[in-house]
Amino acid sequence: MIINIIKLVSRLKIKPPYLPESEMRQVQKKSLWTLAVLAGAALAALSGPAVASSHREAPFLTNSPKVDGTDFYMFRSYAPGRSGFVTMIANFIPFQDPQGGPNFYQFDQNALYEIHVDNNGDAKEDITFQIRFKNTSKRTALTIGGKQVLIPLINSSTISGVNPASLNVRETYTIDMVKGDRRSGTRTRLAAANGATEFDKPVDNIGDKVFGGTGGYETYANQHIYDINVPGCGTGRVFVGQRKEPFYIAVGKIFDLFNLNPLGAESGGNKNDLENKNVSSIALELPVGCLATAADPVIGAYATASMRQARLINPIPASGINNAVKEGGAWTQVSRVGMPLVNEVIIGMDDKDRFNASKPRDDAQWANYVTNPVLPAVVETLFPSAKAPTNFPRTDLVTAFLKGLPGVNQPKNVVASEMLRLNTSIEPTAQASQNVLGVAAGDNAGFPNGRRPADDIVDVSLRVAMGALCVLTGANDALGVGCKPSDAPAGGLPLTDGVRKDANSFKAAFPYLNTPLPGNQ
């Protein structure tokens, strides 16, 4: 039976994972029994649900929140003196309650987190930044009745500085830059200015007492912003850690059949249901020259997370913090997020896991969801006076979501595909002058030309879905989006979910997202 399983998996052509030579030698030493069980687990995984990504938007990821990508941001850095840089922020692990101890919200050390950049418009990654994590227990113990007993908490006392003795679990990560194909391209391990290639991640905001009072956590977290050398293009920065959830939306009322007034107040009309939540962020700030080419200033990017194909649950795990499972097989993408809200409100329920497993180069398979979208019809059903656009196929949505706007953020040789696109030649707008409606309000440094933390992507996306571009393009189609105002009766309405923030609601400098809420709140 064991041999048959191995033969079957071999016929399925499950690819081996990328492993350094030292790790590969260890794998080769595994017993036939272990390989057979892993093969059986891989076969079982293939027979189950495929894979999935963005605030619990797909079935598979509700079971794997550590690899659930929630949002992706990309913009020219607008902090004073940093306009020559691009900031990319990938958020994971949605709906974090600040009180979520004792383990809090660690990244999955068995997963692969990636940010992919396409700098020639062909829908294929040209540069990938890969982040992997490692958790190490210090096995802190107290003498209780003459015996050494391991503590049940992630810290033994107050915390300050990088990797203090009081931190019971040390979480670290590495960054690889891959040029070309994400799996077979040229790989470089990025290092800090002092040559270190392993970076410490700050523990989550356990509470004010742990970090010495109000403001103590941000002082501690800022010690984990590292300068990194990027060969051939200069010095960037990285921060990985917990942040206050930046996304704002009346998510409860929206999913309750739009139980709100879509023409109400743009700000303060409804509650931001994410206001009291935290999120885990991977933030990179890199010189423009590291990402864009001289041939085209427009770049596209998106974030993913991948897991191994096979997982074996250990029925009797050894003492330690990563012994409950054994994983192997090729990396398998289970989370994908570029343009906001795509999988949540555009992709059909049965295809959400498939979308999260797919790559932009294959996005032609999702064309019907964009050219013949369901959301406008749903809005019209719920609010009959808000008529859905009548131009089919919806080439205006293909432009907005799959190509970029001509003259703003459309690559010269664009292949239609879903990702966030940024024209790196457009100067950033100072924080105090940003308009959260972005390009639609004349602020070309904002969404959909990239995405800044304050950009109101809910209102903008809702308006575009209902035909805002058809109204803006005019009767002569000045924007070249393939429609006219008469195609979109509701395209000029100021549709809103009633939740609004502005740029001053966020930090003025890298990593731009706010201090996470403390566990003692």
pLDDT band of 55, cuts 50, 70, 90 = low
Burial of residue 428 (CB within 10 Å: 0-12, 13-18, 19+) is: buried
Residue 9 confidence (pLDDT): 36
Residue 24 confidence (pLDDT): 41
Q: What confidence tens digit (pLDDT) does each residue in 386-396 have?
A: 999 999 999 99
Q: What confidence tens digit (pLDDT) does each residue in 153-171 have?
A: 999 999 999 999 999 999 9
Residue 345 confidence (pLDDT): 85
Per cent of the chain over pLDDT 90 is: 85
User: What is the C-alpha to C-alpha distance for residues 486 and 476, in angstroms, rounded to an integer?
Assistant: 12
| Average pLDDT across the chain, whole number | 90
Residue 57 confidence (pLDDT): 72
User: What is the C-alpha to C-alpha distance for residues 337 and 335, in angstroms, rounded to an integer?
Assistant: 7
Residue 20 confidence (pLDDT): 44
Q: What confidence tens digit (pLDDT) does each residue in 460-482 have?
A: 999 999 999 999 999 999 999 99
Residue 18 confidence (pLDDT): 39
Lowest-confidence range among 43-47, 274-278, 301-305, 336-340?
Answer: 43-47
Residue 26 confidence (pLDDT): 44
3-state secondary structure 444-466: CCCCCECECCCCCHHHHHHHHHC
Residue carrying structure tokens 């700098």: 119
User: What is the C-alpha to C-alpha distance for residues 352 and 363, in angstroms, rounded to an integer?
Assistant: 13
pLDDT band of 58, cuts 50, 70, 90 = confident
Q: What confidence tens digit (pLDDT) does each residue in 325-375 have?
A: 999 999 999 999 999 989 888 999 999 999 999 999 999 999 999 999 999
Lowest-confidence range among 13-17, 77-81, 192-196, 283-287?
Answer: 13-17
Whether the predicted pLDDT of 498 surpasses 90? yes
3-state secondary structure 271-338: CCCCCCCEEEEEEEEEEHHHHCECCECEEEEEEEEEEEEEEEECCCCCCCCCCCEEEEEEEEEEEEEC
Lowest-confidence range among 39-43, 180-184, 301-305, 475-479?
Answer: 39-43
Whether the predicted pLDDT of 3 surpasses 90? no
The length of the chain, given as a count of residues: 521
Cross-strand bridge partners of residue 304: 114, 336
Concatenate the DSSP letters of all residues of 8-19 into one string. Answer: HHHHTTPPPPP-
Rounded mean pLDDT, 181-205: 97
Whether the predicted pLDDT of 23 surpasses 90? no
User: What is the C-alpha to C-alpha distance for residues 111 and 68, in angstroms, rounded to an integer?
Assistant: 11
Both tokens of 71, joined, read: 């949002």
Whether the predicted pLDDT of 28 surpasses 80? no
User: What is the C-alpha to C-alpha distance for residues 449 and 406, in angstroms, rounded to an integer?
Assistant: 11
Between residues 419 and 50, which one has the greater pLDDT?
A: 419
Whether the predicted pLDDT of 416 surpasses 90? yes
User: What is the C-alpha to C-alpha distance for residues 393 and 373, in angstroms, rounded to an integer?
Assistant: 9
Residue 54 confidence (pLDDT): 58
Residue 46 confidence (pLDDT): 30
Kindly tell me the sign of the dihedral angle through the C-alpha atoms of 302, 308, 313, 314.
Answer: negative
